[in-house]
Amino acid sequence: MPWEVTTTVIERERFVRAHASGRYTVSELAIHFGVSRKTAHKWLKRYDQLGLIGLEDRSHAAHTHPNATPAEVEAALIAMKRDKPTWGPLKLDGKDLPAEVQALWPAPSTRGAILSRAGLTRHRRLRKRVPPYTQPFARCDAPNTLWCIDFKGWFRTRDGSRCDPLTITDAYSRMILCCQAMPRTDAAHTQAAMERVIREYGLPQTIRSDNGSPFASTAAAALTRLSVWWLKLGIHHERIRPGHPEQNGRHERMHLTLQQECCQPPAANLVLQQQRFDAFRHSFNHQRPHQALGQQPPASLYQPSLRPYPAHLEDPVYTADAAVRRVRTNGEIRWRGKLIFLSEALIGEAVAVSETPTGYEVHFGPVQLGLLDAKGERLVRPLAT
């Protein structure tokens, strides 16, 4: 015999019919159906008013919302968004609206929810972020202790050519070591330009950059071919936090002056634009007084580094107990019969696997790439702290 299928609505209907028979009191039916007398009277009342439809479940949402945004305010917000489609909830502050509407203007989070319900927001696709840099920044108390590098925002010369200026400065003296319009912003062209700078001024101790290409990547330890080259030269690489250009404030301030004096308006072509960069660099370094330097020009404080560009780049030196592996052409190493992917930025480089109390660590020079998992099949990157 099959099980008898029942629902809440069916039970309420049985309750109403039993009461209509006149053989049972409300109290007896309440006990039999396991509800309170108040609930029993509620279902009888709803049945009298609406029939069987009254026995169906109703929404438990409140009938009134005293803190809800008034409809006219929502309409004003939606109209403002349609007028300024690129503005987000923070910018749509309602300051230009009448005072009575401003008094009821919702918080930014509520504005965002209203616009989302109206289909006026476009959710961004999640991006794969560069691993954060968690070490303290290096001190800057002498020339060449810290260099700053960046690509100033690109623009077009008057003939339509794209101009990507690569800038390098010495943070202590504010000396501009490079201001070069680059044909491309990849690692190869950046390395070639920086090699010319290092051969002229020597090696710095530390280089500070943002998290963009070609300075950083989403690979292990955020390494790129460029930062691997820096490590082999004995240069420490540090990165500012994403969205915090003030951590490279001296360099960014120089960019503002560069833009005002060289790029507004741009030159007729790249050749003339580079001539502007060269003239600006000479003026900035040798003539323009700097308030932070006691009204002296940067060249009065700068001295070239005593560390010359090496004749040959050597592999990192590891301890005797470390197992050294050469990274293959696909970014993998072989460890105990298994292939483990590290990074394409390390192709051809020597890495070390060392046993520690927490497992096997993989290093490239002083940089920890991560730990091998328990099965020794993949690299587990260290968590940010």
CB neighbours of residue 217 within 10 Å: 23
- 293 pLDDT more than 90: no
Question: Do residues 134 and 384 make contact, with C-beta atoms less than 8 angstroms apart?
Answer: yes
Judge whether residue 304 has pLDDT over 90. Answer: yes
Same domain, 36 and 79: no
pLDDT category at 330 given cuts 50, 70, 90 is very high
What is the C-alpha separation between 181 and 117, in angstroms, rounded?
46
81 and 190 assigned to the same domain: no
pLDDT of residue 134: 58
Which residue range is the domain that position 75 belongs to?
71-117
Q: Which of 276, 279, 270 is nearest to 154 (CA)?
A: 270
Q: pLDDT exceeding 90 applies to what percent of the chain?
A: 52
Q: What's the rounded Cα separation, in Å, for the pair 169 and 290?
A: 14
Among 279, 357, 369, 294, smallest CA distance to 332 is for 369
Residue 385, pLDDT score: 37
CATH number (domain holding residue 250):
3.30.420.10
- Does one domain contain both 78 and 50? no
Q: Are residues 160 and 281 in the same domain?
A: yes
Residues 186 and 293 grouped into a single domain = yes
Please check whether residues 260 and 206 belong to one and the same domain. Answer: yes
For the chain, the C-alpha Rg in angstroms (whole number) is 34
User: Do 103 and 167 fall into the same domain?
Assistant: no
Mean pLDDT of the chain: 88
Which stretches does DSSP call E strand in 124-228? Answer: 147-151, 155-156, 162-170, 176-182, 206-209
Report the pLDDT value the prediction gives residue 4, as an integer from 0 to 100.
64
Q: Is 122 left (phi over 0), alpha (psi -120 to 50) or beta?
A: beta
Domain shared by 199 and 77, yes or no:
no
Cα distance between residue 82 and residue 101, in whole Å: 18
Specify whether 230 is located in the same domain as 154: yes
Provide the residue type at 294 as one letter: G
Q: How far is CA 133 from CA 53, 211, 280, 323, in A?
A: 63, 9, 33, 27
Q: Please, which pLDDT band fits residue 126 given cuts at 50, 70 and 90?
A: low
- The DSSP 8-state label assigned to residue 326 in this structure reads E
pLDDT at position 153: 86
